[in-house]
Amino acid sequence: GGGGGGGGGSFRGDKWTKLVACVLIDLIGMSTYTVPALGETADVGWAPISALLIQYLFGNGLITGVALVEELLPGTDIFPTATIAWILENSEAGDRVVRVGERAPRTPRIIRDNKNNNKDDDDFIDV
């Protein structure tokens, strides 16, 4: 399979442990749906926690945003957003989608003249 997103520590690096975490995140999110009147209120509290966990697992702003909106919108608890994110991250087809939300690498700015040259600024390349 593919593999964009996440990274870092051993927890985030083991894809099967990560899958279990994703399923648990989704089950907690769906469980609020089982309590009729309390469900949507509980979602307001769970949404930011879920989004932070998904950001930690995937490091992907697009997936994190989708997870936050999914938890906040009424009636959308049935969608297993974290598990879908895991599938996207671990499949060839999902590689493109996962890369969209990743942070683009910082590119240096180019200075055309040396008048503003600051040797201590690593963001600039003299031309």
What pLDDT, on the 0 to 100 scale, is given for residue 30? 87
What pLDDT, on the 0 to 100 scale, is given for residue 100? 59
Structure tokens at 109: 């700015």
* Chain position carrying tokens 């590689």: 95
What pLDDT, on the 0 to 100 scale, is given for residue 67? 93
Kindly give, in sequence order, each residue whose CB lies less than 8 Å from that of residue 76, ignoring residues fewer than 6 positions away: 70
Structure tokens at 37: 């009147």
CA distances (Å), origin 52, targets 47, 65, 108: 9, 10, 30
**Residue 5: left if φ>0, alpha if ψ -120 to 50, beta else—which one?**
left
Q: CA-CA distance, 110 to 41, in Å (whole number)? A: 50
Kindly give, in sequence order, each residue whose CB lies less than 8 Å from that of residue 82, ignoring residues fewer than 6 positions away: 21, 22, 23, 25, 26, 29, 50, 53, 54, 57, 67
Please tell me the pTM assigned to this model. Answer: 0.64
For each of the chain's 127 residues, which pLDDT tens digit applies? 444 444 444 556 689 999 999 999 999 988 877 777 676 777 888 999 999 999 999 998 999 999 999 988 888 888 999 999 999 989 887 776 656 556 555 555 555 555 555 555 555 555 5
What pLDDT, on the 0 to 100 scale, is given for residue 77? 81
